[in-house]
A and B are shown apart, each in its own frame.
Chain A
Amino acid sequence: QQQVKQSPQSLIVQKGGISIINCAYENTAFDYFPWYQQFPGKGPALLIAIRPDVSEKKEGRFTISFNKSAKQFSLHIMDSQPGDSATYFCAASKSGGFKTIFGAGTRLFVKA
């Protein structure tokens, strides 16, 4: 009930390609779904987040797609760049709550 399942574990994409990372959750009480980006040796930083009242949110090259009925959400990185190479975590939480459940992470490598 509390898990967030993330796939794939690792991803290699050519420069200019589209990177897609998927997450699935079980607890229907979750209503905040952020994505974090982490570079080696650094702390994660919020990249983009979505709430279930919309099915898609776009910020620059980054888009979250959200499917409430399937309890799934995904991160799309358009025109992937070598500088996007990092670990990406999806997460879920309940608004006003204190705990956030994180996925296991996806290591993205963008080849130049």
Chain B
Amino acid sequence: DGGITQSPKYLFRKEGQNVTLSCEQNLNHDAMYWYRQDPGQGLRLIYYSQIVNDFQKGDIAEGYSVSREKKESFPLTVTSAQKNPTAFYLCASKASGASDTQYFGPGTRLTVL
């Protein structure tokens, strides 16, 4: 059953702590993405990766970091430098070439207390 998994579904952390969100895909897609969703603000791109061991900053990368050591995995770390980390985080992937559709995971809701 192909798809994108994100874990955990809900995450609670104390202010000042770093936290890592998991994203795994078995679609054999080259490109992977992290978006942040806040109420009424749509999807904002945090980071994206076109291939393994390569990634680029999106529109709101400050306070976040990523790695892409494997094709299947693209974890996102929310650092203590992120001023307002409470949000819904979405991971997505896309095949290279002709397909332009992004496929999304179920999301992780992060709440910083």
Chain A residues engaging chain B, CB cutoff 8 angstroms? 6, 9, 32, 34, 36, 41-46, 49, 89, 93, 95-100, 102-105
Contacts and interface: CB of A to CB of B under 8 A. Distances in A.
Contacts, number: 53
Contact of B100 (A9, A95, A105): A95
A104 B43 CA distance: 7
A102 B90 CA distance: 13
Given A89-B42, A99-B48, A43 B90 contact: yes
A14 B4 CA distance: 35
B42 A102 contact: yes
Q: Shortest 6 CB-CB distances between A and B: which pairs? A: A43-B104, A104-B42, A32-B100, A102-B43, A105-B42, A44-B104
B106 interface: yes
Contact of A43 (B98, B100, B105): B105
Given A36-B104, A95-B100, 16 more contacts: A34-B100, A42-B107, A43-B6, A43-B92, A43-B104, A43-B106, A44-B43, A46-B103, A49-B100, A49-B101, A98-B31, A98-B94, A102-B43, A103-B42, A104-B41, A105-B40
Nearest to A36: B104
Contacts of B103: 46
Contact of A44 (B40, B90, B100, B109): B90
Contacts of B4: 43
A96 B99 CA distance: 7
